[in-house]
């Protein structure tokens, strides 16, 4: 199936690694031009070498509204507009130990909200005028399956908020031909996985193979989904083929056993 992305002008935030980099690679493979956005130039240089196609490298922190607007302006100036925005710039889940309520600080929640929710809002707000002017666009927000389970107050709040942001943007921007969707990855195989497995193994006194098996058992497919597989879902949603889908949040974590969503 031709996704119709040849020549499309895409921006991917958090593009230097993980799911963001995989999305940039997948979009480029479909013929899109991709602006890679991340906080450091060194990481961007390394990422650009892994993307086959026309790219721009833009250094910006999405907690800084002026930096976000400047990055988007550069894309519009270079390519004449923006067709696709993939928001993937966020602190990775599953890093530090999850604090209990009595130990959870305001700052710990606020930094998650500012980086992910407000960061996504800032970038969407910056690209909206260009998309509205051309009467078409796709915004895909990478959230996470913490939105559908308890266990991390900050993690659940930020991911539910991304889903709520997505639905609101879809309703507002839909009449201008702009689709907005949310993708919820689960545990995803990225460059962080070996360290995560080693950490789990050390804490539980098990082997890394056993740690992986434990994570795989939490999915319906009984395996860990890769970043490239998540990117395939994102690329479809970013394409003209996905016009019928907007405002919704799609799970892309290999399934959650025993859970019903409707």
pLDDT tens digit string along 83-93? Answer: 999 999 987 76
The contacts of residue 188 (CB under 8 Å, 6+ apart) are 18, 19, 224, 225, 226, 227, 230, 253
SS (H, E, C) 49-103: CCCCCCEEEEECCCCCHHHHHHHHHHHHHHHCCCCEEEECCCCCCCCCCCCCHHH
What confidence tens digit (pLDDT) does each residue in 12-45 have?
A: 999 999 999 999 999 999 999 999 999 999 999 9
165-193 pLDDT, tens digit per residue, is 999 999 999 999 999 999 999 999 998 88
Q: What pLDDT was estimated at residue 7?
A: 97
The structure's pTM equals 0.94
**How many degrees, rounded to 5, is the angle at CA 190 between CA 58 and CA 33?**
35
The rounded distance, in Å, linking the Cα atoms of 94 and 165 is 23
pLDDT digits (tens, 9 = 90+) for 114-153: 999 999 999 999 999 999 999 999 999 999 998 898 888 8
How do residues 100-115 score in pLDDT, each as one tens digit? Answer: 888 899 988 898 899 9
Nearest to 7 by CA among 26, 25, 34: 34
The pLDDT of 154-163, averaged and rounded, is 93
User: What three-state secondary structure class fits 31?
Assistant: coil
What does the pLDDT average to over 207-213?
A: 91
How far apart are alpha carbons 51 and 35 in whole angstroms? 11
Q: Is 224 left (phi over 0), alpha (psi -120 to 50) or beta?
A: beta
Q: Are 83 and 30 in contact (CB under 8 A)?
A: no
At 28, list the tokens: 């480029």
pLDDT number for residue 100: 87
Asked whether residue 94 carries a pLDDT value surpassing 70, the answer given is: no
Phi and psi torsions of 260, nearest 5°: -115, 130
């Amino acid at each position: 199936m031709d996704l119709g992305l040849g020549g499309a002008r895409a921006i991917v935030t958090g593009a230097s690694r993980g799911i963001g980099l995989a999305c940039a690679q997948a979009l480029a493979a479909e013929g899109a031009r991709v602006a890679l956005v991340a906080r450091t130039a060194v990481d961007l240089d390394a990422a650009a070498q892994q993307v086959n196609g026309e790219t721009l490298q833009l250094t910006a922190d999405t907690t800084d509204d002026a930096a976000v607007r400047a990055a988007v302006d550069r894309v519009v100036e270079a390519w004449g507009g923006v067709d696709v925005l993939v928001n993937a710039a966020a602190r990775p889940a599953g890093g530090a130990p999850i604090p209990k309520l009595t130990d959870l600080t305001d700052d710990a929640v606020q930094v998650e909200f500012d980086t992910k929710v407000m960061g996504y809002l800032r970038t969407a707000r910056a690209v909206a005028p260009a998309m509205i002017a051309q009467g078409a666009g796709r915004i895909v927000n990478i959230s996470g399956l913490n939105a559908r389970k308890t266990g991390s107050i900050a993690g659940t709040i930020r991911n539910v908020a991304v889903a709520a942001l997505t639905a609101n943007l879809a309703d507002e921007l839909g009449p201008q031909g702009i689709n907005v969707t949310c993708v919820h990855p689960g545990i995803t195989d990225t460059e962080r996985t070996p360290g995560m497995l080693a950490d789990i193994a050390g804490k539980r006194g098990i082997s890394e193979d056993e740690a992986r098996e434990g994570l795989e058992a939490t999915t319906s497919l009984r395996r860990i989904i890769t970043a490239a597989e998540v990117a395939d879902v994102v690329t479809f949603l970013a394409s003209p083929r996905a016009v019928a889908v907007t405002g919704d949040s799609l799970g892309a974590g290999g399934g959650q056993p025993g859970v019903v969503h409707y």
